[in-house]
């Protein structure tokens, strides 16, 4: 920008510069402070950086090239070394460190990711040779190694470690375990209802059968037969549970309050820093607790309401920071509800017996 300071009004500077200023102004006024919002500034900054290529001196371009060459070459070597350790278990110390990141994961050699990784590495070596030996005179020669190295690192990570990332980040197993708890709670409620009311005639038996059919249809439409209110559940987790198993959550208004009256409440917080807010007033029973195997601090807890408890109007339904920075009011005195103990052992963490590369279990 300083090199072009006499021509700031030109379109190639004014348009991206105005875009960056507008995005920064929006970030200063928005209530959403997540890191993802900062990505809105990147397109304008990239366009402004491209304008600076003609002004880059030869010494600066060479230093940039050598830095990119060393950085991305070392990164590629480390990625290949980590992949070799993951597949063979040698050296043992480094393999144990990798296993702690994805406990319970097992891996198989797959040809397609391996071939793509080899092709990306060979392409990187060809680009390096072209840049160093040929000394091209093209305008974009100063960024070819940086962009090529970034593509190399991204390609190796997304091919050699795709199954590892999928295993550690997916909510499929957590969602399956949660649905199992919802369906078990519904079946228990139906058994209790049948035990209290015995059919006295054939017509009553037929009505009971029709009621079971309606219950089965409701269970097929929504696991557990009722909606699930949320407390601090991140938007990403809410969308994942709805996508994997069709869990129907309570609607949420603009202020983050649950709108619908639900039989269950799903709370997300951290094990080391649990949420201070109490549950909505009334009696609650803890049904289930779970987390992803690779995330030791994450925690989901499912409660079922008993008696006069209500979920309508419960605040902080959605935590837009994915449950890791819950909103807290230091002046508020939380209501301490009655929570019944769990009947069975919690099902946390989620099952980790599947192979992370199984296509049938991959995150969509």
Mean pLDDT per block of 10 residues along the chain (364 residues) reads 79 89 89 78 88 80 90 97 93 90 88 96 95 81 89 96 92 94 87 60 47 42 70 89 91 78 89 74 86 89 78 65 41 42 45 50 41
pLDDT at 20: 92
d(CA 168, CA 96) in angstroms, rounded, equals 16
The total of other beta-carbon atoms located within 10 Å of residue 233's CB is 25
d(CA 178, CA 224) in angstroms, rounded, equals 10
> Residue 183: exposed, middle, or buried by beta-carbon count in 10 A (0-12, 13-18, 19+)?
middle
Nearest residue to 244 (alpha-carbon basis) of 363, 80, 78, 107: 363
Q: Which strand (E) or helix (H) includes residue 290?
A: strand 283-290
Note whether 327 and 319 are within 8 A (CB): yes
pLDDT at 348: 46
pLDDT at 356: 55
Number of residues that this document lists for the chain: 364
The total of other beta-carbon atoms located within 10 Å of residue 278's CB is 14
Average pLDDT, the chain: 78
Q: Which strand (E) or helix (H) includes residue 302?
A: strand 298-306
Pairing mode, strands 264-270 and 298-306: antiparallel
**219: CB partners within 8 A, 6+ apart:** 183, 186, 225
| Helix residue spans in 30-171 (DSSP H) | 42-51, 58-88, 92-101, 111-134, 144-160, 162-169
pLDDT tens string 105-122: 888 999 999 999 999 999
Omega of the bond leading into 349 within 30 degrees of 0 (cis):
yes
d(CA 236, CA 352) in angstroms, rounded, equals 21
Q: Which strand (E) or helix (H) includes residue 322?
A: none
pLDDT at 162: 92
Between the CA of residue 334 and those of 263, 320, 329, 330, 331, what are the distances in Å? 21, 21, 9, 10, 9
pLDDT at 340: 52
Beta bridge partners of 289: 301
> Residue 90: exposed, middle, or buried by beta-carbon count in 10 A (0-12, 13-18, 19+)?
exposed
Note whether 192 and 218 are within 8 A (CB): no
Determine the angle formed by the axes of helices 58-88 and 111-134, rounding to 10 degrees.
160
Note whether 267 and 275 are within 8 A (CB): yes
């Amino acid at each position: 920008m300083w090199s072009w300071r006499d021509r700031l009004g030109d379109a190639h500077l004014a348009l991206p510069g105005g875009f960056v200023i507008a995005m920064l102004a929006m970030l200063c006024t928005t209530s959403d402070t997540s890191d993802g919002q900062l990505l809105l500034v990147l397109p304008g900054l990239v366009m402004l950086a491209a304008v600076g290529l003609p002004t880059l001196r030869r010494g600066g371009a060479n230093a940039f090239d050598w830095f990119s060459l060393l950085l991305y070459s070392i990164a590629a070597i480390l990625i290949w070394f980590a992949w070799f350790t993951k597949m063979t278990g040698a050296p043992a110390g480094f393999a144990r460190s990798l296993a702690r990141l994805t406990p319970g994961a097992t891996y198989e050699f797959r040809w397609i990711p391996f071939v793509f990784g080899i092709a990306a590495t060979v392409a990187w070596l060809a680009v390096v040779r072209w840049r160093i030996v040929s000394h091209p005179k093209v305008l974009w020669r100063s960024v070819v190694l940086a962009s090529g190295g970034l593509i190399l690192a991204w390609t190796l990570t997304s091919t050699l470690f795709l199954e590892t990332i999928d295993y550690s980040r997916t909510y499929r197993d957590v969602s399956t375990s949660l649905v199992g708890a919802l369906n078990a709670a519904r079946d228990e409620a139906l058994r209790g209802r049948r035990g209290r009311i015995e059919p006295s005639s054939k017509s009553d038996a037929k009505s009971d059968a029709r009621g079971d059919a309606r219950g089965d249809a409701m269970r097929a439409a929504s696991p557990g037969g009722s909606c699930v209110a949320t407390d601090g559940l991140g938007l990403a987790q809410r969308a994942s549970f709805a996508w994997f198993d069709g869990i129907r959550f309570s609607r949420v208004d603009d202020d983050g309050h649950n709108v619908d009256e639900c039989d269950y409440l799903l709370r997300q917080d951290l094990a080391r820093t649990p949420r201070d807010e109490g549950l909505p007033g009334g009696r609650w029973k803890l049904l289930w607790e779970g987390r992803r195997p690779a995330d030791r601090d994450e925690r989901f807890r499912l409660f079922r309401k008993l008696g006069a408890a209500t979920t309508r109007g419960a605040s902080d339904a959605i935590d837009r920071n994915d449950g890791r920075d819950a909103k807290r009011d230091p002046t508020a005195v939380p209501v301490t509800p009655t929570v019944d103990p769990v009947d069975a052992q919690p099902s946390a963490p989620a099952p980790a017996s599947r192979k992370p590369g199984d296509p049938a279990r991959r995150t969509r």
